[in-house]
Amino acid sequence: MSDRTISQEVAPDLSVVSVSKTYEGGKCALSEVTFEAEAGSFVVLLGPSGSGKSTLLRCIAGLERVSSGSISFSKRTVSSSTLHVKSEDRQLSMVFQDYALWPHMTALENVAFALRRRGLGKSERNASAASMLERMGLGHLASRYPQELSGGEQQRVALARALVARPGLMLFDEPLSNLDADLRERLRVEISTLTREVGATALYITHDQSEAFALADYVGVLESGRLVQFDRPERLYLFPKTPFVARFTGLAGDLPGVVASTDERKHIAVTQVGPHSFKASYSETLAVGDKVRMLIRAKAALMVPSSEHDVDGFGQSLFGSVTDVAFRGIGYEHVVEIFDGHRLEGIFSGERYGRGTKVKVELDPEGCILFAE
């Protein structure tokens, strides 16, 4: 960004300590949420509907008061049970799901309005707004009103408005959920690039695991108001702390089993699953005889055609029959029925195996994760 008239606000560290929020009427939406986001990092809060994502974002934005705990930006407390800094004094920008543009202002005026508190003259504000719209490929739409723009164009104007003041902290409330798949992907890339380009600390909420993994430096998973894991996306995928985190971040299979032996040093257990025994990884304490669930990541499942010489269940593999196949552009996703009516889903292959094809699925122990029932 070439405009030098607007100074960059310093990206803050964000510190959320034991934040709880109970709404009037007694609904507890957040319970003891704690995490730290480094200055300039991109954090995604992921969780199902009602898990407390919006409440947490709104507390950080200053749109809700916390019931207990504290929120600080670079050691400056902005929220606690006795202190509440107003939203407009928190030096942040927000992008909402429903765009929230002012309908009586043009695209240019909407973006320029974000600079009203920067002590700039009108012509400077307009020049900065025009250059930001240009930067986002919206220059030719600057004089249009929101109702004359498509949903995707409105959201990009909203993004331009959030970026133009070069905020230290940017908050995103499911900004892509009203857009179609293609536009969602393109705007996701723009959000990721531009936010990092301005160097802001970013907090983004979504219920979409693939969006979270694609954007985040760190992902926080919320379940019923509790932050159950806060980690790098890669670690979350390989070492989910709970079955909820594993299921919410995408599984190919979820099978019942019984522990047959354990290797505590390597955290690998042999588990009897139906007629088969598999090696799988575990992090909690497990003992021989414990009933477990073996949760299988799609990455761990390699599908090959079965041959008459194969022995079912030998060496981390099992047999099945393809019940569904879907073309995904870069390859095919299969559903495979295995023993006792259990299924593996999302089994990816560059080759298409038609319905009814007998296949062998090999499982990598690293992507098979055991949790006690």
Ligand X SMILES: Nc1ncnc2c1ncn2[C@@H]1O[C@H](COP(=O)(O)OP(=O)(O)OP(=O)(O)O)[C@@H](O)[C@H]1O
Quick one: 55 or 262, whose CB is closer to ligand X? 55
State how far the Cα of 104 lies from the Cα of 61, in Å rounded to an integer.
25
Interacting residues with ligand X (CB under 6 A): 23, 25, 27, 29, 47, 49-55, 207
State how far the Cα of 138 lies from the Cα of 195, in Å rounded to an integer.
18
30 has which bridge partners? 21
Tell me how far, at minimum, the Cβ of 21 lies from ligand X, in Å.
8
Tell me how far, at minimum, the Cβ of 14 lies from ligand X, in Å.
18
State how far the Cα of 354 lies from the Cα of 191, in Å rounded to an integer.
39
Tell me how far, at minimum, the Cβ of 101 lies from ligand X, in Å.
20
Tell me how far, at minimum, the Cβ of 31 lies from ligand X, in Å.
11
For the record, the structure tokens of 17 come out as 């300590």
Quick one: 25 or 103, whose CB is closer to ligand X? 25
Quick one: 16 or 369, whose CB is closer to ligand X? 16
Amino acid at 245: V
Quick one: 18 or 150, whose CB is closer to ligand X? 18
Q: Do 80 and 127 touch, CB atoms closer than 8 A?
A: no
State how far the Cα of 341 lies from the Cα of 164, in Å rounded to an integer.
55
DSSP per-residue string spanning 204-218 = EEES-HHHHHHH-SE
Tell me how far, at minimum, the Cβ of 49 lies from ligand X, in Å.
3
Within 10 angstroms of residue 220's Cβ, the number of other Cβ atoms is 26
Quick one: 135 or 226, whose CB is closer to ligand X? 226
Q: Do 173 and 95 touch, CB atoms closer than 8 A?
A: yes
